[in-house]
Structure 1
C-alpha cells in the first residue's frame, strides 16, 4: 500500500510529489531520527515542522500529519530523549482539541506505543493525556459542541486504557499528573466541570479498581478547596437570633398540600440572591451535581458500597476536620441516602465510634459528634428505631462520664462531654415527638437516664447553647421526659442571656460546636438533598397539638431512681423492631401548631422557633479545628 502526498516541508522552498509505501515511510522517518543523532537535521527538522501544524490545515496537510504520526509509531525505538528533545516536545504539546478523528487516532497510537517503549516517557505521555482533559483556553467554545467534546474524551480515555493494558501499574502514576494539572478555584466553571467529568470517568472505567479511590478523594479535595473560599457573609448576615429561628426565617414555608421534600423550594431572599451570584459557589454547586449524578450511577450499577469506602476515608481524614466547611460534606449525606441500610448505618456507626474512642483527639471527637447529631436530625431516610439506638449509645457514654467525674462545671476540661450532651439535645429537638408517638420507642426513650445526666454537677444545661437547651427543655416538659428537674428549669425567657460558661463552650461565639448538615443553600445540588432532608418546618415537636399526637393515656410516668438508671445502663442493645413498627415511623409534616405559626398565625415568642444553623464564620476560628 502506498501513500501519495503533496508536501511543503519547513526546509523546502518548493512543492514535491512523494510516493511512499508504509514500510518506506517508516524507514524514511527512522533515517531522519538517526541522522539527527549524527548532527544532520534536515529531515528531522522537516518532521518536527509537520507536527507543529495545528490550525487551518488543508486536507493534504492533515494527510501528511496522519502519516507522519503513524510512521513515528513504527519508529519509537529510534526516538532518543537526548537528541530528539524538540520532537518529543512537539508530540507532548499536541492538543487533540485541534484535530479531527483521523489525527486523534494516529496520535493515540503514537502515545500508547511511546509510553510502552521506554519507562522514561510514561509520565510524559500521561501528563499529555491529562492535559487534554480540557481544551486550550482559545478553544473553550468547543465545550458547547458535544460532538467534538465526545470525540476528544473518547480518544483520551482510549489512550489511557491502552497504556494501562500494556503497563498495568501505569495508572498509579496518574494521580500526580491529575493533581498537578487540576484547575484552580478561579478557573472558568466549564473547565472545572469538564476536568471533574474526566476524573469520574476514570473512576468508573476499567482502571477504576486501581485509581478509583484516588479520583474520588481528589474530587472531594477540589470541592473542599472551593468550599473554604465561600464566605458565610455571602449567605447570611450575622444574627443573634436562636439557630432554630434562623431556619424558619430562611426557609420557605411548607405547603401542606406538598409534603414531599422534593416539592419544597428555598426562598431566594435578598441574602440568598447575593449567594447565588457567587462564582465560587456556582462552581461548587456544579461540581457537587456531577458527584451526586456519579454516585447515583454507581448505585444503579450496584457498586455504591465499593465507592463509599474511599469517600468515608476521605471524610475522616479531611472533610471532618475542615473548619467552616459548608456544603462539601453533603457528598456523604447523599451517598448515605442512596443506601441507608449499608452506607447510612456505616457512616453513623463510624461517627459514634470516633466520638466514643478515648484515644482520638478531643477535637476530632467533638467534630464527629457534631456531624452525628446533625445527621441523625436531618436524615429522613434513617429509621426512628436506628436513631433511638444511637441515642441510647450517646446517653450511655454520657452517663458513664458522669459516674467518672464528680467535679464542677468546666467547659474546657469537659468539652467532649458537653458536646455529647448538646448532640443528644439537638437530636431530640428534631426527633422527640416522633419517638414518643411509637410505644416501643417511647418506652426506650423514657428509660434512658437523660435526667440523671442533666442533673449532674457538671450541669450541661448551663454550658450548652441556650437556644438548643431552651427548645429541648420545652419539648421535654411537654413529653414528660423528666420527673425531678425543678420547675424553674422550664421557665423560659425569650431574650435568654447566655452565661459566661455557655459562651466559653459555644454560645453566641460558636467556638466549639456546629451542625454541618444544616440546609444546603446551593440551588442545583440542593435538589438531590431535599427529598431526603428534614427541615425544622417538617419536624413535629412534643408541644404541637395535632390530632395524631399521643394521648395522655399513652404517657407513662417513669421515676428517676438509681435502680432504673442502673438497669438501663447494664442492659444489652438487643431490642429489635418488626416491619409493622418501622412502617409507622414517619416524620412527614402534619398540620401543626408550628405550621400555623409559619402561615401567618399570631403566635409569638422565640421559644416556639427551633434552631438549626450555627454559622461558624461569625466567630473566631475554634481551637478544635485549628489544632
Structure 2
C-alpha cells in the first residue's frame, strides 16, 4: 500500500497581519473611548477642568479617590504640592475636595510631608477663611485619644510616641492662630464641641484635657476662656460621680494598715505622674480624679512663686489667680451639688496667704451685699465656714476676724428684726440662719484652738453667743442637729451659753403632726452645704491632704466614745451622705429627731460641769 500526501486547506490560527491590517487595527483602537483614573488626571487638572469648563465630575472623583485610597508618601507629597500651587482656586465651590485634603492622614508621615502639609494648611486658611471651622475641627479631633489607647495615657500624660504625634497638630494650630486672628472664636467653639462625653473612659477625657492645657502654654490669651470651659466640664463629671459610691469604695478598699497609708510617698514632680495609690473604681470619679490631678499640677506650675521668681512670673501668677477668682464667682459659687471641683480654689489659695485673703474677702462682700440673691449669699456663707474650718494654712487670726465679723452682722440683724417685729421664717431669714450656723460650726470645729488660752475665752465671751443662740429668731431650730449639739457642748463647758433647754424645746417642735392618713412635718433645717468636706478622690488628694485640717475633738469634752465619732454629714437638697471626718455623727440630720437622740448626741459633744 502506498502512502500519498497532500496539502490541506486548513490555515493556522496564528496567522500574521499584513502591514495594512496592522495600521487599520491601530486606528480602531485609537478611536475607542478610554477612562483615565483620578490618579492619572491629578488634582491640578481636575480643578482646571472645573474652573474653565464648569465640569466638576473629575473633582468629585478625585475627592472620592483621596478618601478611599491608601496613598504612599510620594503620592501624598505630590498632591499637597499641587494643592498648594492652586490654593487660590479652591473657593467655596470646591468644599468637598478641600475637606478631603484636610482629612488626609499626614501627622505620621515624613518630616517633608508634614512641613508641606503645614504650609498648605496655613495658605488655605488665610486665602479662604470660610474653611476655618472645618480645618480647626479636623485638627482638634486629633486631640481625642482612642478608646483602646489607655496604655498610651498614664494619668493624663502621653507616651513619647503619642506626644511626638501631637506636636505637629499643635504647631499647625499655633501658626493658624498667629496668621488668622479671627480663628480664636472658632477654636473655642471647636474645643467645646469636641469635649468628650462625661461617660467616656478616663484616659480619653484626661488626654483631651492634656491637649487643652497644652494650648494655653503657647497661647496664654486663651487662659480665661479655656479654664472656664474646663471647670464647667469638670462640674459635669463631679455631679455625675456619686459621692456615696466613692465613699463606699474608700471605706471598703484595701485593708492596709493606716501607718502604711500615712507614710506613703508620692512623686509629684515625676513627668508621668504615676501614683502608687490606686484611683477610685467609679469610672466618672476616676476621670475626675485624674483631671483634677492635671489641673493642680498646671496651677502649681503657674502660681507657685519663690524668692527667685522674676517680676514677670509673679505678674503671671497674680493674673491667673484673678482669673480663677472671677471663674469661682461666675461658675463654682452658683453651682449645686458639687463635691470636689471647688478644691481647685482651695489649692490655689494655699499657695499664698494673699490669695486666701482675697478669696475670703470676695465671699464676705457677697454675704454683706443685700442686692445679691439669698441663695448666693447662703452659699458664700457655707464657703466661708468650711474654708476657715478646713484650711490648715490659715492663721488663727483669720478665723477670729471672720468670727467677729459674722457675729457682728448677726447681732445687727437681730436688732433690726426686733425693731420691725420680723417673724422667724426660714425663707425670710435664710442668710441670718446660714450665718448663725457658720458661727456655731466654726466654734464647734475649732474649739481646741479657740479655747487654748484665757485671751481666746475672753474673745468668745465678747461674741455674746448666748444672745445669738437664744434670740426670738431661734437659729438653733434651723441649724443642723449635730452642729447645734456640738456647739451647745462647747459653750456649756466654758460657760459661754446654755443651749440645751432650747435644743430640747426645738426637738419637741419637730415631732410630726398626724391628721388621719396625712402627716405634717415642721419646717426643715436650712439647706446646708459645706463645700470643703473630706476629699474622697485618691490620686489628686496628694495636693490637698497636706493643707487640709481634719476634725480633732476637744480634750475638754467628757464621755465621748471615740469609736462612735464619725464625719460631719453633708446635706444639699434631699441627699443624705455620710462622711468619715470624726466631727459630727452621721444621723439623718434632725428630720425626725426624738428626745432620746438629742440626749445621745448631748453625751457625745459636751462635757459635764
* Offset at residue 403 of structure 1 (A): 0.7
Please say if residues 412 and 505 of structure 1, whose CA atoms lie closer than 8 Å, have aligned partners that are also in contact.
Answer: no
* Offset at residue 216 of structure 1 (A): 0.5
Structure 2 equivalent of residue 156 of structure 1: 169
In the alignment, which of 154, 170, 182 is matched to residue 195 of structure 2? 182
> Is the partner of 1:338 in helix, strand or coil?
coil
Structure 2 equivalent of residue 124 of structure 1: 134
* Offset at residue 180 of structure 1 (A): 1.1
In the alignment, which of 282, 302, 325 is matched to residue 286 of structure 2? 282
* Offset at residue 413 of structure 1 (A): 1.9
Please say if residues 334 and 528 of structure 1, whose CA atoms lie closer than 8 Å, have aligned partners that are also in contact.
Answer: yes
Structure 2 equivalent of residue 568 of structure 1: none
The CA distance in 2 between the partners of 1:260 and 1:155, in whole Å, is 39
Q: 1:474 to 1:362 in 2, by over 3 A?
A: same
Bigger mean CA deviation after superposition, 611-620 or 294-303: 611-620
* Offset at residue 315 of structure 1 (A): 2.2
Please say if residues 285 and 522 of structure 1, whose CA atoms lie closer than 8 Å, have aligned partners that are also in contact.
Answer: yes
Structure 2 equivalent of residue 343 of structure 1: 355
Please say if residues 237 and 284 of structure 2, whose CA atoms lie closer than 8 Å, have aligned partners that are also in contact.
Answer: yes
Over the residues paired in the alignment, what is the CA RMSD in angstroms?
A: 3.9
Deviations 1:171-227 (A, max 9, x none): 23321111111111122222111111111112232x222x11111011111111111
Structure 1 equivalent of residue 402 of structure 2: 390
User: What does 1:286-435 correspond to in 2, within 5 Å?
Assistant: 286-300=290-304, 302=314, 303-339=316-352, 341-406=353-418, 407-435=422-450
* Offset at residue 293 of structure 1 (A): 1.2
The CA distance in 2 between the partners of 1:109 and 1:374, in whole Å, is 54
Highest Rg: 1 or 2?
Answer: 2
The CA distance in 2 between the partners of 1:408 and 1:137, in whole Å, is 59
Q: 1:474 to 1:274 in 2, by over 3 A?
A: farther
* Offset at residue 614 of structure 1 (A): 1.1
Please say if residues 101 and 151 of structure 1, whose CA atoms lie closer than 8 Å, have aligned partners that are also in contact.
Answer: no
TM-score using structure 1 length: 0.71
The CA distance in 2 between the partners of 1:431 and 1:410, in whole Å, is 29
Which of the pair has the greater relative contact order for Cα pairs under 8 Å at 6+ separation? 1
Bigger mean CA deviation after superposition, 101-110 or 329-338: 101-110
Bigger mean CA deviation after superposition, 295-304 or 455-464: 295-304
Q: 1:14 to 1:109 in 2, by over 3 A?
A: closer
User: What does 1:221-620 correspond to in 2, within 5 Å?
Assistant: 221-235=232-246, 276-300=280-304, 302=314, 303-339=316-352, 341-406=353-418, 407-437=422-452, 441-482=456-497, 485=498, 488=501, 499=510, 506-507=524-525, 512-536=527-551, 539-541=552-554, 543=556, 598=562, 609=565, 611-616=567-572, 618-619=574-575
The CA distance in 2 between the partners of 1:453 and 1:252, in whole Å, is 46
Structure 1 equivalent of residue 186 of structure 2: 173
> Is the partner of 1:200 in helix, strand or coil?
helix
The CA distance in 1 between the partners of 2:39 and 2:66, in whole Å, is 18
Q: 1:137 to 1:75 in 2, by over 3 A?
A: farther
Deviations 1:268-327 (A, max 9, x none): xxxxx9993211111111111111111111124543332223332332223222222121
> Is the partner of 1:224 in helix, strand or coil?
helix
Aligned length, in residue pairs:
507
Q: 1:275 to 1:46 in 2, by over 3 A?
A: closer
* Offset at residue 64 of structure 1 (A): 2.0
User: What does 1:33-182 correspond to in 2, within 5 Å?
Assistant: 33-37=47-51, 38-40=53-55, 44=59, 48=63, 51-52=66-67, 61-82=72-93, 84-96=94-106, 99=109, 101-135=111-145, 146-182=159-195
Structure 2 equivalent of residue 565 of structure 1: none
* Offset at residue 49 of structure 1 (A): 5.8
Structure 2 equivalent of residue 557 of structure 1: none
> Is the partner of 2:296 in helix, strand or coil?
helix
Deviations 1:14-49 (A, max 9, x none): 998x9xxxxxxxxx8555423222245587467546
The CA distance in 2 between the partners of 1:201 and 1:383, in whole Å, is 36
Q: 1:506 to 1:347 in 2, by over 3 A?
A: farther
Q: Which runs of 5 or more structure 2 residues have no equivalent in the other structure?
A: 1-34, 268-276, 305-312, 513-520, 578-609
* Offset at residue 616 of structure 1 (A): 3.0
Please say if residues 446 and 481 of structure 1, whose CA atoms lie closer than 8 Å, have aligned partners that are also in contact.
Answer: yes
* Offset at residue 446 of structure 1 (A): 3.1
The CA distance in 1 between the partners of 2:444 and 2:196, in whole Å, is 42
> Is the partner of 1:280 in helix, strand or coil?
helix
Bigger mean CA deviation after superposition, 299-308 or 469-478: 299-308
* Offset at residue 532 of structure 1 (A): 0.7
The CA distance in 1 between the partners of 2:38 and 2:59, in whole Å, is 18
Q: Which runs of 5 or more structure 1 residues have no equivalent in the other structure?
A: 1-10, 19-27, 238-245, 264-272, 546-592, 601-605, 622-627
Structure 2 equivalent of residue 624 of structure 1: none
